[in-house]
Amino acid sequence: MSVVFVVLFLLLLLACLTLHVLGLPANWLLLGLVALWDYFHPAPHLGFAFYAMLVCVALAGEAVELFAQLVGARKYGATGKGNLGGFLGAFGGALLGAPFFLGVGALFGAVAGAFVGCYVFERAHGRTGAEARRAAMGAMYGKVFGLTAKVACGVVMWAATARTLWPA
């Protein structure tokens, strides 16, 4: 019976990772669910080192998501104001896109918002259309890479949990 519970819990954690598509903090929810499992499960506890690893991976996912967008935009010629616009646009786009396509619109909204926000801020500060478009493409590419890296960090968290919980 214990194997059935572990399988069901791992499937729940895997389903939790799909929340990335909705722009929700799936990695942190996964961490919280693992902590609840550890609290209510009678087996030996997972330990500080395991939780420290999960927190570090979750923080790395957040940092990579943020810095990938910033570095991507900078690489394509964005200014600091354009980066700010890309960040604000991604946030606003995720919020505005969330009601569409059963919540999946948040993903598309974040990516499109990074482009639009960077473009608008660059144009508002005197850049030409071509320069602003190039910078906005960098912000969009960075956002896509950052989201991909964040999902990859969630998969690492899931795999580490599965390896730890699976009965040997």
pTM recorded for the entire structure? 0.85
Q: Residue 15: which residues within 8 A CB-CB, separation 6 or more?
A: none
- 28 confidence band (pLDDT: 50, 70, 90): very high
Mean pLDDT of 94-99: 88
What is the overall mean pLDDT for the chain? 91
Residue 23 φ/ψ, nearest 5 degrees: 80, 20
In this predicted structure, what is the pLDDT of residue 144? 93
In this predicted structure, what is the pLDDT of residue 1? 54
109: its two tokens: 């909204």
CA-to-CA separations, 106 to 5, 10, 93, 111, 166, in angstroms, rounded: 32, 25, 7, 9, 34
Mean pLDDT of 139-156: 94
- What is the DSSP code (8-state) at residue 45? P
Q: Residue 7: which residues within 8 A CB-CB, separation 6 or more?
A: none
Return the C-alpha torsion angle 60, 155, 15, 19, nearest 10.
Answer: 30
* Under 8 Å between Cβ of 111 and 143: yes
Reply yes or no on whether the pLDDT at 48 is more than 70.
yes
Rounded Cα distance, 111 and 5, in Å = 37
